[in-house]
Every structure is written in C-alpha cells, then in structure tokens.
Chain A
C-alpha cells in the first residue's frame, strides 16, 4: 500500500508540469498537422501529447533538475524504472479512456 501511495505521489509530481507543457506541445503539433487533408481536432492532439510527449518532457526535467528526489523513492525500495513505467502507463491508459469516452459522446 505504501509503495502504491509513493507511485501515486510521483505521478502527482509530474501532473501539473505535464498538463501545462502539453498545451504548448499540442499547439506545435496541431499547427504542423494543419497541412493534412483531415487534421485531428485540437483536443485529441492535446490528449495524445498528455499521453506521450508531456510525460517524457517531465521525466527529462526531473532527470535534469530534481534527480536527487529519486532517493526518496529508492529508500522505500522503489526503482526509477518502476516509477517511469507506472507514470507513463497511467497517462497512456487515462488518455485512451478519455479518447474512447469522447468518441462515444460525439457519436451520441
């Protein structure tokens, strides 16, 4: 249970940064896809950025400026790899769930 809470704490520490950097990332990706005949809607691009690009940027930021904080998790037996995997999987699963819900809302 403590390990789960610690994984959740790590996830929370990336959330604000992910949601905000993904806004910028989404606009960049959206405008670069404008040339396509059927560009995806902006909100879908944003969700996808929150699933992949944003989290990777967050992990890179933590690796570069908050590296020492990983010892907080190491001291409780949690490796960096375990934190990366759970955080990325949570974003990907939540993103897919959100896209699926929005798809069905649109159909209805």
Chain B
C-alpha cells in the first residue's frame, strides 16, 4: 500500500527573519528525498515542523488525506531522527528495542552483526557511530509510514555509513524517507529525488549541475 505525505504553505520566521517561505513538499512510499541546503537555511526547522514539534507561522500537513497539526502524536505515522542522539542514556539497548518494536522483535533485531559485536548492553557506553546506527535501525524498523532523518551520516565511520545506506534503501520499499545531511555525496548516492532549500524556498533538483548553479557546491567538487 502506498502512503502519501504532503506539506504545503509552510511559513516560518525567527526574530523577523523569514527562514521558510511557502514551502511545498510531497513524499510517498518508495521515495527517498535528499534535502540539501547550506547551514541555517532551515532544513532541520522544516523537519521539526513536519514532525509537529515546532510551531510554524503557517503550515498544512496531510498524510493519506488526513490533515494533522502535530503528526507525531499519531503513533506509526511519522518518525524523526534528530541531529543529536535521542535514546535515553540510562536505558539498555534491549529495553529501547522492546519499547519501540515489541518484545517479539528483539531477537531478530539484535541478530544484526554490527549490534552483536557490541560489548555493552547500555546505551551510555556506545560510541557515537554505534549509537547513530542503532537509532537509525530502530526508527527504520518501526511501523512508521514516513521517516525523517536529520544528518544520519554525521559522525559515522565509512563502514557504518555503507550499512546505513543499505538499511535506508531496503526500508524505502515500504516507507517514504526524507533525509538531509551535509555529506552530500552520501545523500546523492542513496536518494532518488533531490531538493535544495535556498532563500526560504525549495527547489527541485533534477541534475547535479544545478547544485553548482545554486551555489551549494563548488564546480571543482562535482564528480
């Protein structure tokens, strides 16, 4: 079954400075939308507005024809990976998996070779990269229809980046995914649609050359 997420007419300003002006974005099952943009252009702001934890001056969010003000309050509609770690440090890995996926799925989830190599059961003892991998895998395994990933490759080693990309690609068969990261090469690798937030608006990117034209990357960095 295909699901559809639409966000329209998003306007957000901070201290008289317009960050987002009339944004429209559509995501459906199977989409991996790579959202690019320079620092401070409002990528995380847009994700938080879409998730429902940040109020916008104006917004319209619709999932499968239903309009929501705060979509996160409906379980298994939308999940969000924030830039910084969100798993409570006092909790064990197993407990967090149980709370997110249910008791029956813990064993399957933990059979992952990367998680099996961990020599700790506490979230507080994981390295930054391991924690990021665990968080991403956890969110991608939920029954959520849409997943928002804010800088999923940040602070992750190249091997784990490869594993995360595989997870994203595998999960996108059943979910819609919107991701943003400054490591644009990884975003270009994994996403099947691209957009650029520029000057408060959102531009659809069909060709990598457009990223140079909009001043996101220098021509020398384009391979």
Assuming the contacts A74-B80, A75-B72, A77-B72, asked whether A13 and B99 have C-beta atoms less than 8 A apart, the reply is no
A68 at the interface (CB under 8 A from B): yes
CB-CB < 8 A to A70: which residues of B? 86
B23 at the interface (CB under 8 A from A): no
Query: Do residues B91 and A9 form an inter-chain contact, with CB atoms below 8 A?
Result: yes
CB-CB < 8 A to A77: which residues of B? 72-75
Assuming the contacts A9-B99, A77-B72, A77-B75, asked whether A71 and B86 have C-beta atoms less than 8 A apart, the reply is yes
Taking the closest CB of chain B, its distance from the CB of A64, in whole angstroms, is 14
B87 at the interface (CB under 8 A from A): yes
Assuming the contacts A9-B91, A13-B88, A77-B72, asked whether A71 and B99 have C-beta atoms less than 8 A apart, the reply is no
Taking the closest CB of chain B, its distance from the CB of A76, in whole angstroms, is 6
Query: Do residues A74 and B99 form an inter-chain contact, with CB atoms below 8 A?
Result: no
CB-CB < 8 A to B100: which residues of A? 75-76
Select A71's contact among B82, B90, B96, B102, beta carbons within 8 Å: B82
A5 at the interface (CB under 8 A from B): yes
CB-CB < 8 A to A6: which residues of B? 99
Main secondary structure of the interface of B (DSSP, over half): loop
Assuming the contacts A5-B99, A6-B99, A9-B99, asked whether A75 and B80 have C-beta atoms less than 8 A apart, the reply is yes
Taking the closest CB of chain B, its distance from the CB of A23, in whole angstroms, is 20
Query: Do residues A75 and B99 form an inter-chain contact, with CB atoms below 8 A?
Result: no
Taking the closest CB of chain A, its distance from the CB of B75, in whole angstroms, is 4
Query: Do residues A68 and B84 form an inter-chain contact, with CB atoms below 8 A?
Result: yes
CB-CB < 8 A to A66: which residues of B? 88-89
**Most chain A CB within a 10 A radius of its CB, from B72, B87, B142:** B72
B174 at the interface (CB under 8 A from A): no
Query: Do residues B75 and A76 form an inter-chain contact, with CB atoms below 8 A?
Result: yes
Assuming the contacts A6-B99, A9-B99, asked whether A72 and B72 have C-beta atoms less than 8 A apart, the reply is no
Assuming the contacts A6-B99, A13-B90, asked whether A71 and B73 have C-beta atoms less than 8 A apart, the reply is no
Q: How many angstroms from the CA of A71 to the CA of B85 in the assembled complex?
A: 9
Q: How many angstroms from the CA of A7 to the CA of B79 in the assembled complex?
A: 18
Taking the closest CB of chain B, its distance from the CB of A2, in whole angstroms, is 6
Assuming the contacts A5-B99, A9-B99, asked whether A74 and B91 have C-beta atoms less than 8 A apart, the reply is no
Identify the closest chain A residue to B73 (Cβ). A77
Query: Do residues A75 and B88 form an inter-chain contact, with CB atoms below 8 A?
Result: no
Q: How many angstroms from the CA of A23 to the CA of B170 in the assembled complex?
A: 52
Query: Do residues A68 and B72 form an inter-chain contact, with CB atoms below 8 A?
Result: no
Binding site for B on A (CB under 8 A): 2, 5-6, 9, 13, 66, 68-72, 74-77, 79
A-B contact pairs, 11 of them (CB 8 A): A5-B99, A6-B99, A9-B88, A66-B89, A72-B86, A75-B139, A76-B100, A77-B73, A77-B74, A79-B70, A79-B73
Known: A69-B87, A75-B72, A75-B144. 17 other contacts (CB 8 A): A2-B102, A5-B99, A6-B99, A13-B88, A68-B84, A68-B85, A69-B86, A69-B88, A69-B89, A72-B87, A72-B96, A74-B72, A75-B79, A76-B75, A77-B72, A77-B73, A79-B70
